[in-house]
Structure 1
């Protein structure tokens, strides 16, 4: 009873002080706290426990139209809950500038995901790695080795050479298969895929797929599979405790695809290391090595990064970094979907 009486007296005293204005500083603090809460981006309606807005994103409406309709309702900036992750959605140039320019460092990191772990050499791929010392260091090396104007000029002859070779292949196809109509059918999906693959592989690794080489088809297939699993929705990324179920078989697919790609890239890396360590072939390969991104990166990483630094070996860093442009390759290869029908190529 004494304790209850003390509580009643304490609460009554607080109410009296509040009435007479002696708690003005506390009320101001609460108001400021509420104002800060009010300044947070609004959360879209329709969130469910545990899964958040996943049921909306997984609906029949395509994502960009869904987000556009939400922007019309909730404004140019709002948040979604995708499982345990909160996602900020911005829908106009001013908000995008605030996020990507004014406050770019705040938004520079990336959430951890299964694809980054299994297909990015356990976050050694700087394109998928979280923002931090490792990301900044490797990005600086890659910008110096690959993004300089001088290096891009050195790669110009490769692009020209591959386009010319591809045009010659089309001409040879026309000469071989032309009939009385002087017209042949060309599979533009295959032609465009071969062109882009040869161009990227030659610039990155110094290798070139021959027309009859089966490794090119296997490599292209692995890259397409890479893009499919990378762009797919992995349930365990949103709800981590579901990973042991491997819903959709994404973990199995990622491990298989990562192994196939690593076999090809690792073979090129070992071949490049042998050539770089061989004094007899070093001079004749110098000009070619200067335009090979893998060789330049291998030299740069060995000079600046000690073995096992950041928890990654030199080979892991080089292979993971070379995989970044290869990721872009699978995006480019999706353009082949534009060619719904095989166009005719007419000789003149």
Structure 2
């Protein structure tokens, strides 16, 4: 029976691809290497992926058309073409591609980064600008960041007092950012100070990250939709199971805030709007004025904030591998000191030119458009090849050197 499903999937995929090829025959598509039936260019991909794409870019040019199964892919490796896509055609490319992970892990694409262009997208951006990234909001949360940084440094000092030993920065950075986010969102850290054992802390942090930092990358079911119908490797079942777990945790957090607020009102306690401390309290409060927008699912999707752990780890790796670039300070720094530290700004700018991920988050055109001189179909996934752009010797002098 399983073989029958495979043959059926093969037949349907072949028919679909033949129809797509006949539709594309008369359109001016970007340069593309030879592709195979059904799988397209997947046979060309080898790890690491960015090196394979670099080889193809050098051979076919800065705008490259690929097919990953049923999905057309546009890989752009030129700043001018990227600008054309994301400036001239910014509204066309404002969406993210629909994926199986996106459907289950972002509450049907209502998360800030994955929301489709429109009223929901504008409302989420407005909320993020005012309640999360505004100067006032960042000032309010600065004490949380400072306390968690001091806690991390205290752990490092405690370890160094015993004897010199290697330190796993990935764990410490993950702990730092996760605790900051959880305290801003809920008022409680992910792993509290009462956890003395680093092994216990690692287990708690691992469980937290597995639950809330789900992988949104595309998988084989996104490239071959027929595989989703037959439950390929149980991928979708695992996603549904994980999402139920996340949903239960977030639901409990929201219910706690509702009960706390109801209890305060019943006890005739005056609640000052300006004292709303956590992000989840702010969201529950805003739902009273805009219930049509701040549904439970939208609130939960906003709470699922991504972290900057990889960015921090990558920055520290660059500094440690270039000790001559490290400048020492005699005291701890806070947010207000940032503007007075031009060298630190240069380090951050140089880190931007060494992105931890080779491709930016994908974009998804909502209609056909022209990029360069080429016809780009609606539904083509746009991948910006940041790794190649930031290491192109035609654009940068000594691009592979770390030079703040």
TM-score by length of 1: 0.70
**Cross-structure match for 1:328:** 307
Residue 191, structure 1, aligned to residue 172, structure 2: yes
**Cross-structure match for 1:211:** 193
- The one-character-per-residue Cα deviations of 1:154-198 (angstroms, maximum 9, x if unpaired) are 1111111111122223334556xx2xxx54665444333222211
Which residue of 167, 186, 207 corresponds with 1:221? 207
**Cross-structure match for 2:222:** 237
Which residue of 28, 48, 73 corresponds with 2:59? 73
**Cross-structure match for 2:263:** 278
**Cross-structure match for 1:289:** 276
User: CA–CA distance in 2 between the matches of 1:90 and 1:184?
Assistant: 44
User: CA–CA distance in 1 between the matches of 2:222 and 2:127?
Assistant: 30
User: CA–CA distance in 2 between the matches of 1:322 and 1:172?
Assistant: 33
Choose 1 or 2 for highest CA Rg: 1
Q: Is the 8 A contact 1:219 1:261 kept in 2?
A: no
Q: Is the 8 A contact 2:186 2:280 kept in 1?
A: yes
**Cross-structure match for 2:335:** none
User: CA–CA distance in 1 between the matches of 2:184 and 2:268?
Assistant: 20
User: CA–CA distance in 2 between the matches of 1:188 and 1:99?
Assistant: 37
**Which blocks of at least 5 consecutive residues in structure 2 are unaligned?**
1-25, 319-404
Instruction: Judging by fraction of residues, say which structure has more helix.
Output: 1
**Cross-structure match for 1:344:** none
Q: Is the 8 A contact 1:206 1:289 kept in 2?
A: no
User: CA–CA distance in 1 between the matches of 2:316 and 2:203?
Assistant: 17
Which residue of 243, 252, 260 corresponds with 1:267? 252
**Which blocks of at least 5 consecutive residues in structure 1 are unaligned?**
1-36, 340-348
**Cross-structure match for 1:13:** none
**Cross-structure match for 2:390:** none
Taking a change above 3 Å as real, the CA distance of residues 69 and 184 of structure 1, as seen in their structure-2 partners, is closer
List aligned pairs for 1:293-332, cutoff 5 A: 293-306=279-292, 314-323=295-304, 325=305, 327-328=306-307, 331=310
Query: What displacement does 1:336 show?
Result: 11
Give SS of 2:75's match. strand
Give SS of 1:125's match. coil
Q: Is the 8 A contact 1:159 1:199 kept in 2?
A: yes
Taking a change above 3 Å as real, the CA distance of residues 144 and 228 of structure 1, as seen in their structure-2 partners, is closer
Residue 136, structure 1, aligned to residue 122, structure 2: yes
Taking a change above 3 Å as real, the CA distance of residues 149 and 205 of structure 1, as seen in their structure-2 partners, is same
Query: What displacement does 1:288 show?
Result: 5.7
Taking a change above 3 Å as real, the CA distance of residues 298 and 226 of structure 1, as seen in their structure-2 partners, is closer
**Cross-structure match for 2:107:** 121
**Cross-structure match for 1:31:** none
Q: Is the 8 A contact 1:155 1:203 kept in 2?
A: yes
- The one-character-per-residue Cα deviations of 1:197-239 (angstroms, maximum 9, x if unpaired) are 11111112222242346798445434247656323x4111112
**Cross-structure match for 2:152:** 166
Query: What displacement does 1:56 show?
Result: 2.1
Give SS of 2:307's match. helix
User: CA–CA distance in 2 between the matches of 1:274 and 1:336?
Assistant: 42
User: CA–CA distance in 2 between the matches of 1:142 and 1:225?
Assistant: 23
TM-score by length of 2: 0.62
Taking a change above 3 Å as real, the CA distance of residues 139 and 98 of structure 1, as seen in their structure-2 partners, is same
User: CA–CA distance in 2 between the matches of 1:226 and 1:112?
Assistant: 20
Query: What displacement does 1:334 show?
Result: 7.0
Give SS of 1:87's match. strand
